[in-house]
Chain A
Amino acid sequence: MTTTTPAAPIVHETAVVRSWKAPIAYGIFALVGVLFAFVFPATGDTLFELSTEREAIQLAPVAVPTQSAVIVAALLLVGLTGLSAFFVASRRARSPLWLAIVFTVLFLFAFLTWVAADKTIPVPGLLVGSLALSVPLIFGALGGVISERSGVVNIAIEGQLLFGAFSAALVGSITRQPLLGLVAAMVGAVLVSFVLAAFSIKYLVDQVIVGVVLNVLVLGLTSFFYSKVLVPDAATLNNPVKFDVLPIPLLSDIPILGPVLFRQTIIVYLMYIAVFLVWFALFKTRWGLRARAVGEHPQAADTVGISVTSTRFWNVSLAGAIVGVGGAYYTLDVVGQFGKDMTNGAGFIALAAVIFGRWDPIRATLAGLLFGFATNLQSVLGIIGSPVPSDFMLMLPYVVTIFAVAGLVGVSRAPAADGKPYIKS
Chain B
Amino acid sequence: MKLELRGITKRFGALVANDHIDLVVEPGEIHCLLGENGAGKSTLMNVLYGLYRAEEGEILLDDEVQHFSGPGDAMRAGIGMVHQHFMLVPVFTVAENVMLGHEETNAIGVLDIAAARAKVREISDRFGFDIDPDAVVEDLPVGVQQRVEIIKALSRDARVLVFDEPTAVLTPQETDELMAIMRQLKESGTSIVFITHKLREVREVADRITVIRLGKVVGEASPSASNAELASMMVGRAVDLTVDKAPANPGADAFVVTDLSVIDALDQYVVKDVSFTVRAGEILAIAGVQGNGQTELTEAILGLQPRVSGSITLDGVELVGRSVRRVLDAGVGFVPEDRTEDGLVAEFTIAENLMLDRSTGEPFVKAGALQLKTLEEFAEAKLEEFDIRAQGISTPAGRLSGGNQQKVVLARELSRDLRLFVASQPTRGLDVGSIEFVHTRVVEARDSGIPVIVVSTELDEVTALADRIAVMYRGGIVGIVPGDTPREVLGLMMAGETTGAAA
Contact = CB atoms under 8 A, between A and B. Distances in A.
Of B12, B141, B267, which is in contact with the most chain A CB atoms at under 10 Å from its CB? B267
A10 B292 contact: yes
Given A7-B289, A285-B110, A15 B71 contact: no
Contact of A303 (B81, B289, B492): B81
Interface in A283-322: 284-287, 289-290, 292-293, 296-297, 299-307
B490 interface: yes
A304 B101 contact: yes
Contacts of A293: 89, 92, 100
A2 B459 contact: yes
Contacts of B494: 4-5
Contact of A302 (B71, B263, B270, B272): B71
Interface string B448-483: 000000000001000000000000001100000000
Contacts of A424: 51
Contact of A305 (B72, B99, B109): B72
A5 B90 contact: no
Nearest to B489: A2
A387 interface: no
Nearest to A6: B173
A289 B96 contact: yes
B130 A425 contact: no
A290 B474 contact: no
B269 interface: yes
B495 A303 contact: no
Contacts of B12: 425
Contacts of A425: 12, 51-52
A183 B295 CA distance: 56
B71 A303 contact: yes
B109 A12 contact: no
B100 A304 contact: yes
A17 B51 contact: no
B488 interface: yes
B325 to A, nearest CB: 22
Of B89, B111, B176, which is in contact with the most chain A CB atoms at under 10 Å from its CB? B89
A275 interface: no
Nearest to B98: A304
A297 B89 contact: yes
A15 B262 CA distance: 9
A9 interface: yes
Interface string B80-107: 0101001111111000110111110100
Contact of B110 (A16, A284, A300, A307): A284
A344 interface: no
A2 B290 contact: no
A14 interface: yes
A301 B101 contact: yes
A286 B87 contact: no
B491 A15 contact: no
Nearest to A93: B267
A13 interface: yes
Given A2-B459, A7-B289, A10-B292, A305 B70 contact: yes
A4 B87 contact: no
B322 interface: no
A300 B87 contact: yes
Contacts of B100: 289-290, 293, 300-301, 304, 306
Interface string B13-54: 000000000000000000000000000000000000101100
A300 B291 contact: no
Interface residues of B, number: 64
Nearest to A305: B72
Nearest to A304: B101
A300 B81 CA distance: 12
A299 B89 CA distance: 9
B199 to A, nearest CB: 12
A18 interface: yes
Interface in A380-409: none
B326 interface: no
Given A18-B267, A285-B110, A425-B12, A10 B291 contact: yes
Given A290-B100, A300-B87, A301-B100, A7 B268 contact: no
Given A15-B268, A287-B109, A297-B88, A5 B291 contact: no
Nearest to B494: A4
Given A285-B111, A299-B87, A306-B100, A7 B269 contact: no
Interface in A401-420: 416
Interface in B259-276: 263-264, 266-270, 272
A2 B111 contact: no
A13 B273 CA distance: 12
B484 to A, nearest CB: 14
B171 interface: yes
B78 interface: no
B70 A12 contact: no
B143 interface: yes
Contacts of A299: 87
A15 B92 CA distance: 26
Contacts of A307: 70, 72
Of B52, B75, B87, B272, which is in contact with the most chain A CB atoms at under 10 Å from its CB? B87
A5 to B, nearest CB: 4
Given A296-B90, A297-B88, A15 B75 contact: no
Nearest to A424: B51
A412 to B, nearest CB: 14
Of B12, B100, B152, which is in contact with the most chain A CB atoms at under 10 Å from its CB? B100
A285 B89 contact: no
Contacts of B392: none
B487 A2 contact: yes
A61 to B, nearest CB: 48
B81 A17 contact: no
Nearest to B263: A15
A1 interface: yes
B92 A7 contact: no
Contacts of B75: 304-305
A2 B292 contact: no
Contact of B200 (A1, A11, A13, A302): A1
B219 interface: no
Contacts of A302: 51, 70-71
B176 A305 contact: no
Contacts of B266: 14
B109 A303 contact: no
A14 B272 CA distance: 11
Given A285-B105, A304-B75, A5 B491 contact: yes
Given A284-B111, A292-B89, A301-B101, 10 more contacts: A10-B141, A13-B269, A15-B268, A17-B307, A289-B92, A292-B91, A300-B88, A302-B71, A304-B75, A304-B101
6 contacts: A3-B491, A12-B475, A13-B269, A15-B307, A287-B109, A302-B71
